[in-house]
Every structure is written in structure tokens, then in C-alpha cells.
Amino acid sequence: MSERTQYMGQRVELRQQRQRVALDCEALRDRLRLALPLAEEVSAIDREVVVNAAMALHERLGELQGIDRKLAILNRELGD
């Protein structure tokens, strides 16, 4: 298998992985929004839910950024 074909296969896998991670990020963002209702008193906020969701979102966003960097390298190598 040629190097180009190998890179194209990696890019397809990374794009699929990126899609899954992006969906996870959207779900975590929505969980944060639900945990911070505008119509409730500030004292009603569940701090643990907010902190856990924020930490998970931070980790997944970092993963998403790493995937984007890898995709940029592959795109550059493939001339896209």
C-alpha cells in the first residue's frame, strides 16, 4: 500500500473520530446549559454536575483540537 493511500485511510478514520468527539462536546455543552438554568436561584446550581461536565468538556475539546491538528497535517501531506 502506498503512503498516500495510507494517509487517506488515516484521514477517513480521523474524520469519523472527529465527528464522534464533536457530538460528545455538543452533548456536554447541553448538559452544562441544563445545569445552569436561568430561571433558578444561583443557590440551586448543582456544583458537582457543573464541575464534572466542564472538566469532561475541557478534556474532549482538547482531544478535538488534537484531531484537528492531525487532520491539518494529513491534508497538507495529501495536498488538500
CA distance linking residue 63 with residue 25, whole number of Å: 10
Task: Specify the amino acid at residue 37.
Answer: P
List, for residues 2-38, the tens digit of each pLDDT value: 999 999 999 999 999 999 999 999 999 999 999 998 8
How many domains are contained in the chain? 1
Kindly report the pTM of this predicted structure.
Answer: 0.87
Cell of 5: 493511500
Full domain range(s) for residue 11: 1-76
What DSSP designation does 41 have? -
pLDDT at 80 over 80: no
List, for residues 27-79, the tens digit of each pLDDT value: 999 999 999 988 989 999 999 999 999 999 999 999 999 999 999 999 999 98
What is residue 11's predicted lDDT score, i.e. its pLDDT?
97
Q: How far is CA 20 from the centre of its chain?
A: 8
What is residue 33's predicted lDDT score, i.e. its pLDDT?
95
CA distance linking residue 65 with residue 48, whole number of Å: 26
Count the alpha carbons within 13 Å of 20 in the hemisphere toward its beta carbon: 8
